[in-house]
Amino acid sequence: MRRATAVAGAALAATVISMFTWAAPPAQPPAPFTLSSPEIKAGGRIADAQVFNGFGCQGANISPALSWSGAPKGTQSFALMVHDPDAPTGSGWWHWVVYNIPASATSLPANAGNTQNMLLPGGAVQGRTDFGTTGYGGPCPPPGEPHHYYFRLYALKVPKLDLPKDATAAFIGFNVRAQSLGSAELLGIYGR
């Protein structure tokens, strides 16, 4: 009986070892979808180089360099929406809108928001901002409390958004969110 118990115990141990030996390694969670900039630290003050030049502000109006990683599986394009929810308009202020950024892109260089520079990846389109123009328009809040500027990059499940050239930022945002697989965010703060 002792021998039978020892044999049964050895068989059970071999089975347990076999289960752990042949089990697939645990799946690694996907890397988080992140957006960063060498010019804007998360939650930090936006520099004068990125501030609008007009309406009483005297910045250089240069869009910051941006880079991202960890896009969700199935991403076919990206859209960037930059918004100030603190603007005293009732709906905030759209500062930069770019869509149809190719899925192969992982960054935008500094000053890509200047429509004369042609620094955006091929196929990318800049939409109309609340300044009434296309391209980047930097922060320029009224004097008082600092405003929050959200740079949000959306991973889209479609290769292209087919939108009218004069579409408003709100209309573009509606379409972006309807096709979104996920988003990454960078917050900058500016006040005067």
Q: Rounded to whole angstroms, how far apart are CA atoms 129 and 8?
A: 75
50-94 tens-digit pLDDT: 999 999 999 999 999 999 999 999 999 999 999 999 999 999 999
pTM for the complete prediction? Answer: 0.84
22 C-beta neighbours (distance < 10 Å), count: 7
Three-state SS for the chain is CHHHHHHHHHHHHHHHHHHHHHCCCCCCCCCCCEEECCCCCCCEECCHHHCCEECCEECCCCCCCEEEECCCCCCCEEEEEEEECCCCCCCCEEEEEEEEEECCCCEECCCCCCCCCCCCCCCCEECECCCCCECCCCCCCCCCCCEEEEEEEEEECCCCCCCCCCCCHHHHHHHHHHCEEEEEEEEEEECC
84-104 tens-digit pLDDT: 999 999 999 999 999 999 999
Residue 82's nearest CA partner among 169, 191, 162, 178 is 169
Percent of the chain at pLDDT exceeding 90: 83
Task: Supply the pLDDT for residue 71.
Answer: 98
Q: Rounded to whole angstroms, how far apart are CA atoms 22 and 17?
A: 9
9-38 tens-digit pLDDT: 444 444 444 444 455 566 677 789 999 999
Q: Which domains can be identified in the chain, with CATH numbers?
A: 28-190 (3.90.280.10)
